[in-house]
């Protein structure tokens, strides 16, 4: 999706919210797709391939990582099972990050529930970083990795994010903006569908060595994510806040 398309969607979402008096899309909103993830903590081996795959896909700069892997131990003795949790944006049904944005730059897409940032609108105030209870947003300070080869600088490698293919330039967007996981929305086809077997699938889920990250459409009762939620015990983080995340963890 290009910047103009994002801006148009942002304006439509803002006027719809004004018309209904609603600050955020609620759980009753009917969408074509409801994309989300089911992450199996028993299968995650903590290799961080998802972190690297995301960085390679989205060409994110130093200090910006759309997913991270948290680690800990289940139990009290050193021999207890280690626990790893990969943590992307949860694309919450009631996202507080959206509520606090003063310019409507970040919004939840009505067709699939993916929470995005319009870099043309974002003024870099960082309210959304404060508003997100999951630490899923990052400010782009404009830093770059060192030259990757004699001929190519990291800044010369365009990012496919939002299908905008932006090359990093000093003091130009997305430097100075807040950035976050997009569920690799640029890999959707014109109808908004992904294709796991064709490779058009979020980079973290595609690369996960332990097959711990499951991605799909919760609106489809036969999708892998829907089936896993029916078969296994799952939790979501900080449910008491009412954010209604679209990322579940299997225990
Ligand atoms: Fe917003 Fe944070 Fe929820 Fe993502 S995890 S939708 S950034 S509140
Ligand atoms: Fe909105 Fe950008 Fe401010 Fe975040 S940093 S609240 S996206 S204007």
Pocket-forming residues, ligand 2, beta carbon under 6 Å:
100-101, 103, 105-106, 117, 122-128, 178
Q: How sure is the predictor about 239, in pLDDT bands with cuts at 50, 70 and 90?
A: very high
Half-sphere exposure for 38 (CA within 13 Å, toward CB): 19
> Which residues are CB-contacts of 211 (< 8 A; sequence separation ≥ 6)?
40, 43
Q: How far is the centre of ligand 1, averaged over its atoms, from the C-alpha of 132 (Å)? A: 5
Ligand 1, residues 36, 65, 68, 96: which to mutate, most atoms within 8 A of Cβ? 96
Between vectors from CA 239 to CA 232 and to CA 23, what angle results, nearest 5°? 125
Residue 37 CA to residue 88 CA, distance in Å, equals 9
Most confident of 14-18, 29-33, 131-135: 131-135
| DSSP run (H or E) holding 115 | strand 115-117
82-87 average pLDDT score: 92
12: tokens are: 């439509």
What does the pLDDT read at residue 77? 73
- Please state, for a pLDDT cut of 70, what percent of the chain lies above it: 85
Provide the residue count of the chain: 251
Q: Which atom of ligand 2 is nearest to the CA of 137?
A: 4
Share the mean pLDDT of the chain.
87
Q: Which residue has the higher pLDDT, 101 or 12?
A: 101
Q: How sure is the predictor about 10, in pLDDT bands with cuts at 50, 70 and 90?
A: very low
What does the pLDDT read at residue 82? 82
Q: Name the 3-class secondary structure at 218.
A: coil
Ligand 1, residues 13, 70, 90: which to mutate, most atoms within 8 A of Cβ? 90
- Ligand 2, atom 3, lies closest to the CA of 125
Q: Which atom of ligand 1 is nearest to the CA of 91?
A: 6
| CATH class of the structural domain 3-144+153-250 | alpha beta
Q: How sure is the predictor about 201, in pLDDT bands with cuts at 50, 70 and 90?
A: very high
Pocket-forming residues, ligand 1, beta carbon under 6 Å:
89-92, 95-97, 115, 132, 134, 136-137, 180, 243
Q: How sure is the predictor about 29, in pLDDT bands with cuts at 50, 70 and 90?
A: low
1-16 average pLDDT score: 39
pLDDT, tens digit, 9 for 90 and up, residues 30-58: 899 999 999 999 999 999 999 999 999 99
What does the pLDDT read at residue 72? 80
What does the pLDDT read at residue 148? 62
Q: How sure is the predictor about 236, in pLDDT bands with cuts at 50, 70 and 90?
A: very high
Q: Name the 3-class secondary structure at 18.
A: helix
pLDDT, tens digit, 9 for 90 and up, residues 142-168: 998 876 667 777 778 899 999 999 988
Residue 228 CA to residue 224 CA, distance in Å, equals 6
- Total-model pTM: 0.86
Residue 2 has pLDDT above 90, yes or no: no
What does the pLDDT read at residue 157? 86
- Ligand of minimum distance to the alpha carbon of 237: 1
Sketch the domain layout of the chain as residue ranges. 3-144+153-250
196-210 average pLDDT score: 96
54-78 average pLDDT score: 89
| DSSP run (H or E) holding 180 | strand 178-180
Q: Which residue has the higher pLDDT, 190 or 3?
A: 190
pLDDT, tens digit, 9 for 90 and up, residues 86-131: 999 999 999 999 999 999 999 999 999 999 999 999 999 999 999 9
């Amino acid at each position: 999706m290009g910047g103009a398309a994002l801006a148009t969607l942002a304006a439509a979402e803002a006027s719809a919210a004004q018309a209904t008096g609603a600050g955020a899309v609620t759980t009753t909103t009917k969408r074509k797709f409801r994309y989300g993830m089911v992450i199996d903590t028993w299968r995650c081996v903590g290799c961080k391939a998802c972190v690297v795959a995301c960085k390679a896909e989205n060409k994110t700069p130093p200090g910006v990582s759309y997913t991270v892997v948290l680690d800990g131990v289940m139990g009290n003795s050193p021999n207890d099972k280690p626990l790893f949790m990969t943590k992307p944006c949860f694309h919450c049904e009631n996202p507080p990050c959206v509520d606090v944005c003063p310019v409507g730059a970040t919004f939840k897409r009505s067709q699939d529930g993916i929470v995005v940032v319009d870099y043309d609108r974002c003024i870099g105030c960082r309210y959304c970083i404060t508003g997100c209870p999951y630490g899923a947003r990052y400010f782009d300070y404009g830093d770059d990795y060192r030259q990757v080869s004699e001929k190519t600088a990291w800044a010369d490698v365009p990012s496919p994010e939002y299908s905008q293919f932006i090359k990093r330039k000093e003091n130009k967007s997305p430097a100075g903006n807040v950035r976050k996981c997009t569920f690799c929305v640029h890999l959707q086809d014109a109808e908004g569908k992904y294709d796991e077997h064709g490779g058009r699938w979020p980079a973290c889920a595609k690369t996960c060595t332990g097959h711990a990250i499951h991605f799909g459409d919760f609106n489809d009762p036969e999708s892998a994510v829907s089936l896993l939620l029916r078969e296994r015990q799952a939790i979501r983080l900080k449910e008491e806040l009412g954010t209604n995340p679209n990322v579940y963890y299997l225990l």
